[in-house]
């Protein structure tokens, strides 16, 4: 039953409310005070710990499953290959191996001698581990490795530190693709592998195996992993490289550990770098940050080339894109300098061949360069000539009888039919603004010739499904951000047998002469002769232009020089194992010279 409140009751309620408010205020103030006091009174650690920011959390530490770059940033500090690229020359040099492999042409085998290295648990790394790793690649058909390791017929363990690889047939990619694979410990993985082989889906079981503490031979070992927040890796005291001189560098690691922290956006990571929360951000930064970062005294900017290719591809399986003249005309219309200066803000280069110029040994400088050095009118006039000679006509041609450039209208194919609407698929601007805007610019340049082109950004997954899965497209703008330094991908992209769903010949290019050269280069063991074949392959592609190479953006990275220095610059920037073996704490003299 409800009763009326007396004035005494109301007064007591008021007093109670006042008391609650006072207590809440006091609690809040005490909490804030304690947070600041305790956080500022912490004892600073004497360890020299490098702090690196990552754009995303590594998806997995399972070496058999990892496919994303962030997972490999961690795993590459743990699992080591037999051979590694020299950061200066980009040539492969012995890493876990003692010397370069010795080829026995008679038996078609490679003999590899291993260094006296140890796993991080103290057990020795032996030839048995190499053979075991190879066995896993083969038995489980591990994606990305199996297709390359298929070339190895058998592996013979000669002794604990010598292993011989017998090849089925000569293969040029053995050194770059097989001997650079990460090695795992037999002792650690044998029970897991045995159990997985007994299951219905062995590969999936192996990939779903939970890794608590990965065992490797690399410079760092995993110490702590708080999911979603940080990864702490400690210096591996048993790292085989410590104190050795490799690639003209005396290797460390010279830091006690590395903390990897994740940052959800590049903006926040840059602020963290400026504030000193991290010493380096392991991801390319946008050119727009350069002005802001150069004004920060402790920030050092690094500007390096990438092994990348951004390109426009045609569906040459269907008309009119099966016409080489049309593709050449489009290649002529594209103003690559505009793309480099405006879209890349001069942080990149125009690409003219499939192999980037940074990969100097394999790059062909003498491929046809359709639009280089031409202004807008000259490009239109040249493209007009190409198309006119191939039988194309216009209601209003782009060039009038007096040679003046005018707005072209209604282009007609050589058979007299009007050209149908042509769609250029691009990733959306929020995924990659450069590719999206490049697509729009190409649309405009093509319209100047009367070609009814329409750039259509679409979700990346849907784009790849159309281009790579269903082959349902006219043209597209895509890119490869990290191309392997071995140029066998030239074959992969244009080999006729790769024109199948999910195959990498997305354009559907078929050329028996190219196929023959591709097969020969793959089997050519002599590096210089292989180079000649690859140079010719690049020339053929740029002659037929199923892909029009567009640009290669540079990689811009930033680090703080307040606490550490010694970053090693290479083709892909400073984020590499060499840097982590070479970065040193800044000395007092270096800090205050």
Partner 1 sequence: MNRIVFISKKAVELFILFFLILTVLFFLFRLAPGDPVTRMVDPMLTPEDAAHIIEQMGLDKPLTTQYMIYVKNFFTGNFGFSFHYGEPVARVIMARLPCTLLLFTTSTLLAALAGVFLGKISAWKKGSRMDGVLSISALVCHTLFVPWFALMMLWMLGFQVGWFPLGGIISPELWIEDAPFGLKVLDVIHHMILPLLTLFIIHVGSYLLLMRSSMLSVLKEDYILTARAKGLTDRVIRNRHAAKNAALPVVTSVGLSLAFSINGGALTEQIFTWPGIGRELIFAVSNNDYPLAQGCFLLIAAVVLSANFIVDLLYAWLDPRIHY
Q: Which of 118, 200, 128, 119 lies closest to 161 in space, CA to CA?
A: 128
Which residues face 230 on adjacent strands?
Answer: 226, 261
Q: Looking up tokens 């796993």, which residue turns up?
A: 119
Q: Which of 220, 265, 285 lies closest to 579 in space, CA to CA?
A: 220
407 near partner 1, judged by CB under 8 A: no
Phi, psi at 102, each rounded to 5°: -105, 120
460 near partner 1, judged by CB under 8 A: yes
Per-residue x/- track, 45-64, partner 1 (CB under 8 A): x---x-x-----x-xx-x--
356: number of Cβ within 10 Å: 23
Nearer to partner 1, 266 or 414 (CB): 266
Per-residue x/- track, 1-30, partner 1 (CB under 8 A): ---xx----x---x----------------
Helix axis angle for 512-523 and 527-544, nearest 10°, is 160
Tokens describing residue 475: 């043209």
Nearer to partner 1, 231 or 340 (CB): 231
Q: Which of residues 511-550 bind partner 1 (CB under 8 A)?
A: none
429 near partner 1, judged by CB under 8 A: no
Run of H or E residues at 429: none
259 near partner 1, judged by CB under 8 A: yes
Nearer to partner 1, 332 or 538 (CB): 538
Q: Which of residues 215-254 bind partner 1 (CB under 8 A)?
A: 223-224, 226-230, 232
Rounded least distance, CB 187 to partner 1, Å: 22
Contact 242, 126 (CB under 8 A): no
Choose which of 262, 301, 429, 525 interacts with partner 1 (CB under 8 A). 262
Q: Is 240 exposed, middle or buried (0-12, 13-18, 19+ CB in 10 A)?
A: buried
Nearer to partner 1, 285 or 478 (CB): 478
Q: Which of residues 337-376 bind partner 1 (CB under 8 A)?
A: none
- Angle, CA of 53, 54 and 59, to the nearest 5°: 145
Number of residues that bind partner 1 (CB under 8 A): 78
503 near partner 1, judged by CB under 8 A: yes
Q: Which of residues 68-107 bind partner 1 (CB under 8 A)?
A: 68
Cis peptide before 320 (omega within 30 of 0): yes
Rounded least distance, CB 279 to partner 1, Å: 13
Choose which of 6, 265, 389, 415 interacts with partner 1 (CB under 8 A). 265
204 near partner 1, judged by CB under 8 A: yes
483 near partner 1, judged by CB under 8 A: yes
Q: How far apart are CA 82 and CA 180, in angstroms?
A: 6
Q: How far apart are CA 553 and CA 274, in angstroms?
A: 24
Nearer to partner 1, 265 or 592 (CB): 265
Tokens describing residue 169: 């047939």
Nearer to partner 1, 123 or 176 (CB): 176
Stretch that binds partner 1, among 130-138, 476-484, 514-522, 565-573 (CB under 8 A): 476-484
Q: How far apart are CA 174 and CA 513, in angstroms?
A: 24
Choose which of 30, 34, 158, 360 interacts with partner 1 (CB under 8 A). 34
Tokens describing residue 172: 């040029």
502 near partner 1, judged by CB under 8 A: yes
Rounded least distance, CB 552 to partner 1, Å: 16
Which residues face 309 on adjacent strands?
Answer: 480
Antiparallel, parallel or unpaired: β 422-426 and 475-480: parallel
144 near partner 1, judged by CB under 8 A: yes
């Amino acid at each position: 039953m409800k009763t009326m409140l007396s004035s005494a009751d109301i007064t007591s309620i008021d007093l109670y409310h006042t008391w609650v408010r006072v207590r809440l205020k006091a609690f809040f103030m005490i909490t804030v005070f304690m947070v600041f006091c305790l956080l500022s009174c912490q004892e600073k650690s004497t360890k020299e710990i490098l702090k690196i920011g990552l754009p995303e959390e590594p998806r997995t530490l399972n070496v058999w499953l990892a496919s994303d770059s962030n997972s490999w940033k961690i795993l590459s500090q743990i699992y080591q290959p037999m051979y590694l690229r020299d950061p200066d020359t980009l040539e492969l040099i012995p890493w876990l191996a003692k010397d370069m492999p010795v080829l026995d042409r008679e038996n078609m085998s490679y003999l590899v001698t291993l260094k006296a290295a140890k796993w991080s648990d103290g057990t020795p790394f032996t030839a048995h581990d190499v053979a075991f790793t190879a066995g896993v690649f083969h038995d489980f058909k591990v994606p990305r490795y199996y297709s390359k390791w298929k070339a190895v017929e058998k592996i013979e363990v000669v002794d604990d530190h010598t292993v011989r690889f017998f090849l089925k047939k000569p293969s040029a990619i053995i050194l770059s693709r097989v001997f650079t694979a990460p090695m795992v410990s037999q002792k650690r993985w044998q029970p897991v592998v045995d159990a997985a082989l007994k299951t219905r889906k062995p590969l999936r079981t192996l990939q779903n195996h939970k890794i608590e503490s990965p065992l490797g031979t690399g410079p760092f070992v995993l110490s702590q992993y708080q999911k979603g927040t940080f990864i702490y890796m400690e210096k591996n005291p048993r790292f085989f490289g410590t104190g050795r001189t490799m690639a003209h560098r005396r290797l460390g690691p010279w830091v006690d550990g590395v903390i990897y922290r994740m940052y959800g956006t590049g903006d926040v990571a840059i602020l963290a770098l400026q504030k000193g929360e991290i010493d380096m951000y392991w991801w390319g930064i946008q050119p727009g940050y350069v002005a802001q970062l150069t004004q920060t005294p402790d920030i050092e900017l690094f500007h390096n080339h990438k092994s990348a290719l951004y390109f426009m591809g045609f569906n040459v399986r269907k008309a009119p894109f099966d016409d080489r003249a049309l593709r050449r005309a489009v290649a002529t219309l594209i103003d690559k300098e505009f793309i480099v200066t405006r879209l890349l803000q001069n942080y990149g280069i125009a690409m003219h061949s499939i192999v980037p110029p940074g990969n100097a040994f394999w790059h062909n400088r003498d491929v046809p360069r359709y639009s280089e050095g031409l202004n807008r009118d000259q490009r239109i006039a040249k493209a007009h000539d190409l198309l006119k000679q191939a039988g194309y006509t216009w209601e209003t041609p782009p060039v009038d009888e007096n040679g003046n450039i005018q707005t072209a209208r209604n282009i007609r194919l050589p058979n007299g039919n009007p050209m149908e609407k042509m769609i250029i698929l691009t990733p959306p601007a929020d995924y990659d603004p450069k590719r999206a805007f490049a697509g729009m610019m190409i649309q405009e340049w093509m319209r100047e010739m009367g070609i009814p082109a329409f750039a259509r950004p679409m979700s990346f997954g849907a784009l790849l499904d159309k281009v790579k899965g269903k082959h349902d497209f006219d043209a597209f703008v895509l890119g490869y951000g990290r191309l392997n330094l071995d140029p066998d991908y030239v074959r992969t992209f244009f080999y006729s047998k790769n024109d199948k769903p999910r195959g990498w010949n997305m354009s559907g290019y078929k050329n028996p002469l190219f196929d023959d050269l591709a097969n020969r280069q793959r089997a050519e063991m002599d590096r210089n002769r292989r180079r000649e074949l690859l140079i010719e392959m690049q020339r053929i592609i740029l002659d037929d232009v199923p892909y029009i190479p567009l640009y290669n953006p540079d990689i811009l990275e930033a680090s703080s020089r307040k606490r550490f220095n010694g970053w090693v610059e290479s083709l892909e920037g400073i984020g590499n194992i060499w840097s982590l073996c070479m970065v040193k704490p800044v000395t007092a003299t270096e800090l205050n010279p």
